[in-house]
Each structure stands twice: as structure tokens, then as C-alpha cells.
Structure 1
Amino acid sequence: MATNDKLKNQLASRTSNKPAPVADTIEAYMKKMAPRFAEVLPKHMDMERMSRIALTTIRTNPKLLEATVPSLMGAVMQAVQLGLEPGLLGHCYLLPFKNNKAGTTDVQFIIGYKGMIDLARRSGHIQSIYAHAVYQNDDFEYELGLHPQLTHKPSFGERGEFIGAYAVAHFKDGGYQMEFMPKSEIEKRRGRSKSKDFGPWKTDYEEMAKKTVVRAMFKYLPISIEVQAQAQQDEVVRKDITADPEYIEADAVEINMGNVIETEPEESNGDIPDSLV
């Protein structure tokens, strides 16, 4: 009898020492960082909602659960700082990438097309901002100079091939800013993307084109330097990572797979870095 009790105690001890599921560990990290998140979250956002959305995004993408905790928490922190909700709304995305140098899976924060529009509107100086794709059979005129002009009448029939995209921002003081980018220039930007041959560049080309031209216009808008820096991260290719299709959930990158900022990977033992706590 004593022997049976001893075995039961040993089994109970082993069970209690069994590592917690990764998702539960991530949730514990999120709770630990909640006070810091709350400090940087914009006033119009709700911390409880943001945490719930971030956790749901992480739990529903197995590859995110395989990522290093510092890179995952860092990406969540960027989303919190900008007040952009990750996931299917298209504001921003937490994308897993294979870090070739470190041999780990890291997470990159990417601003989405809708997120960029939201950030621009939040500045308080922009009345409206929008972007449209232009096709060969559309009635389109674009002129620069002392009096820039842009006229676009989409064709109601067969629109033909895609030829470019433009973005327009109207300011509350009556001024405006516009940007047009032909397909050749958009393709150059696409060529710098690790995801140029799959993901949204294949499934949502028009939306990616609009995002590209809005991003190019950002530097002329009355938006904070910090927000502009975040928006321009997609312009830089990080050479030590690979965007592998199997690491990307199709419904999680609807229109927002971009490039990632070039930085050297940090060595990590899996703990949250002090700078994030």
C-alpha cells in the first residue's frame, strides 16, 4: 500500500512539474507586461480589448507560438504604442519569419494599409485620405508643376491592365497632398520585398499597391516623426531572415506582407528583455 502511495506521489510530482503549454506561457508574459503596455497605449484604446485581440492573434497562428518571446513581445509592444489592433481588420500584423543567423523564428510587426490610413487621420490635421488603383481603360490624367492636377474616372466596362495607383490627403486647412506611382515604380518596391512572389502580392495586388503609394506619401503629411518611422520600416529589407510561405497564415496577411527592418538578431534565452518589462 505504501508503495502504491509512493508511486502516486511520484506521478503527481511529475505532472505538477510538466511544462505549461506555450500559449499559457505567452499569456503570462502578456499579463506581466500589462502595466508597461498601459503606459504607452493611446488614450482612445482599451487595454483589455488590445490584450484580448493580441492573445487571440497569437493563439490562432501556431508559428507565432514557436517564436522567440522577446521578438513576439516587441512586436506586440509596437502595436500597442501605435494603438493598432493586429488581425483581420487590417490595421497591423504580427508576422513570423525564420531568422537564418540565429536559427530561430522571430516576429515582425507590419503596419497594414488600413492602419496607415488610421494613423494619418489620427493626426488631427487630415480631413480625409484615400487611395485608388488605376487601370488602362480608365480616364486618368495626372499633371505636376505649379498647379498639380489629378482626374480619375474609372471605366464601367473592362478596365484593362493595372497601370498604377495614387493617394490623396485633404488637410483641414484646405490644402492637400497627392502622390501617383506607376506600376513600374510599384514593382521596384515590390522587388525589395521578401514576399514578392507569394502572399498578398499574389492574392491582393491592388491593395498592396495602394499601401505602397500611401506609404510613399507619408513623409509629406503632418504626422509625427515616430509614426513616419514606423510606416517606413517596410522600405528596408532585412537580409538575415526568410519569409517562408509556410510561416504565413493566408488569412493573417490579407494585404500587409511587407519587408522588415534590417537589424542584427539579439541573442536570447527566452526571457523577456529588461527593456520590455
Structure 2
Amino acid sequence: MAAPAKATDQKDLSKALANKAAAGNGQGKTIAQLFDEMKPAIAQAIPKHLTPERLLRIATTSIRTNPKLKVCTPESLLGAVMQCAQLGLEPSILGHAYLVPYRNKKKEGNKEYFVDEAQFQIGYKGLIELARRTGHISSIMSQAVHEKDLFEYEYGINEKLRHVPADGDRGPVTKYYAYAKFKDGGYSFMVMSKRDIELHRDKFSKAKFGPWVDHFDEMAKKTVLKALMKYMPISVEFQKAVSMDETTKREVSDDMSEVIDVTDWSESSAEDAGGGDEQRDPDTGLLNDRPPDDQVEFE
């Protein structure tokens, strides 16, 4: 009986937030006030190991300490936090999840403009945590391979994987690999060169800040681990959870995996990621890069 109420509460909340943004009623509200309005929906979505109070406290701290998140739209911040809630991942330096500010294109009628929005990203440790929760995996890990390490691998019928780290100076990193052992005795692994990792980063990370800059090694391990998971016999629920990685949502729903990802991966958007101050257009009344009355106060 609780599920229908959960869906109704979150859909009503999403609709209310959208109406506030359209009317400019979000202006002047603190992030704490917006999160407080969201707490009932989070309480119904969050796993037992995490409380709404703890999640919102951590999220608020993450936002307050990152100036670029402070100018992100409330809808995207709430959408990112709700994804954290549904997956039971904390958006903090622990590496479970991140709230990353990006600049996206947004269209209203015939007008297009850039808007600062928060993107939800699963961290390396968060991805491992989600995999372990499925109950099908006995061991899962990702490692970096250095130039002086002994590393052998082969795909095919007689596939093999062997890694012996060198003593002392191991040299620069050349590859990353991930492996998983299943409780039924099976196993699977994936190897990617550092160059492949960098190409992935350049394609899917627009900003010159964030986890790819501050935590490259962990993001590289996550990338190869995520590539491996595409071929792993894991539940549909787990695959839906992974599909929320690197997404920007402007709505709150009882199933955030079904909300449309609005991240704009175009090069023009990449060049404008994390831009600076803008002036209001005298003809449209809009800021050059974002609409008016769509920000949140944090003090």
C-alpha cells in the first residue's frame, strides 16, 4: 500500500517544483528549505542504511563548498539528490557519488539558452557497492597497470588475466582492468588502455573541474568497471541503477531511471561549462546563459 503513496508524493513534488521554477517562486529560498520540502519523498525512497537527514546534510555541504554548484538550478540539484537517495549513495569525497556542475542548453518556446545544472555521477566505490548489493558477486575490483608491472591477458576460449605489480618505481600507468568473480564460480574481466580511458573522458566530461580532474585514477577504474558490467549477468534493477550515471534530471520521480536525461554533450556546451558572469538581454529579459529567477540562495 505504501508504493502508490510514494509515487503520488514524488510526482506531486516534481510538479510543484516545476511550477515554482516557471513562476520564479524559487527565488529567495535557501537550499535547506527546498531540501526540507523534499524530505518526505526522500524518506520513502531511501534505503534503510541511510537517513534523509544524513543525505541532505551531506548534499548541502557538497553544494555549499562548491561555488559552481551554488548557481545550478534547483530542479537539477533536487533531481541529482533524489538519484543519490534512490541508490543509497552519499554525494561526498568518499567516492560513492558526485554532484557535478555542467552547463546545458535549455529550450523554452523558440528560445534557447545555456543553464547551469547539476549532473549526478556514480563514483568508483559507489559502482562497486551497487554491484555487491545484487548478491551475485563474491569479488569485484578494478586496478591500474604500470609500465614495469608484469601483466598478461588474453580474450577468447582460453582467456587469462595475470597481474604482478613491480617493486619500487612501477613507472607510469599504461592500462586499467576490472574483474568480477561470481558466486556460481564464473568470472569476467575487461582491459582498457589509458588512452582509451582518456578518449572516454574527453567525450563524456565537459568541464575542466570535477572528479575527472581531481580523481582521475578512480574515474578511470570506474570507466573500465562500467564497461565490464555491460556484459555481466546482473539484474535488471542493477542495470537501471547504472543507467542513472552521468545524467542530468529536471524532474523528481518515484523511479529516477525513467526520467529523461537532459545532459547536452555538444562541443559548444562543453566550451561553456562552468562559465562566468552574464548580462541580461534587454530584448528577451533573459540572461545570456540562463533564465531569470531560477537560482537558490544558500545562506
Q: Give the structure-1-normalised TM-score.
A: 0.74
> 1:85-131 deviations in whole A, cap 9, x for unaligned?
00111111111122355332111111111111111111111112111
8 Å CA contact 1:132, 1:165 repeated in 2 = yes
Tell me how large the CA RMSD over aligned residues is: 3.2
- Asked if residue 241 in structure 1 is aligned to residue 269 in structure 2, the reply is yes
Return the offset for 1:20.
11
- Asked if residue 110 in structure 1 is aligned to residue 118 in structure 2, the reply is no
Partner of 2:92: 87
- Asked if residue 210 in structure 1 is aligned to residue 221 in structure 2, the reply is yes
Structure scoring higher RCO (CA < 8 A, sep ≥ 6) equals 2
In structure 2, what is the Cα distance between the partners aligned to 1:150 and 1:233? 33
8 Å CA contact 2:145, 2:151 repeated in 1 = yes
Return the offset for 1:232.
6.8
1:228 to 219, 226, 242: 242
In structure 2, what is the Cα distance between the partners aligned to 1:164 and 1:158? 16
Moved more, 197-206 or 116-125: 197-206
- 1:1-277 equivalence runs, <5 A: 25-100=30-105, 101-195=112-206, 200-221=211-232, 222-223=234-235, 224=237, 225-231=239-245, 238-239=265-266, 241-242=269-270, 270=294
Structure 1 counterpart of 2:221, which letter?
A: K
8 Å CA contact 1:136, 1:160 repeated in 2 = yes
* CA pair 214-136 structure 1, distance change in 2 beyond 3 A: same
Structure 2 counterpart of 1:40, which letter?
A: A
SS in 1 for 2:57: helix
SS in 2 for 1:103: strand
Partner of 2:287: none
Moved more, 78-87 or 45-54: 45-54
* CA pair 54-178 structure 1, distance change in 2 beyond 3 A: same
Could you tell me which runs of 5 or more consecutive residues in structure 1 were left unpaired when the two chains were aligned. 1-18, 248-265, 273-277
> 1:171-202 deviations in whole A, cap 9, x for unaligned?
12221121111223223212313347655545
In structure 1, what is the Cα distance between the partners aligned to 2:130 and 2:271? 26
Structure 2 counterpart of 1:212, which letter?
A: T
In structure 2, what is the Cα distance between the partners aligned to 1:205 and 1:231? 16
Structure 2 counterpart of 1:82, which letter?
A: L
Return the offset for 1:33.
1.2
> 1:25-53 deviations in whole A, cap 9, x for unaligned?
21111111111111211233222211221
Query: How many equivalent residue pairs?
Result: 235
In structure 2, what is the Cα distance between the partners aligned to 1:245 and 1:269? 20
In structure 1, what is the Cα distance between the partners aligned to 2:214 and 2:295? 37
Q: Which structure is larger by alpha-carbon Rg, 1 or 2?
A: 1
* CA pair 134-196 structure 1, distance change in 2 beyond 3 A: farther
Aligned-residue identity in percent: 44
SS in 2 for 1:85: coil
Return the offset for 1:67.
1.5
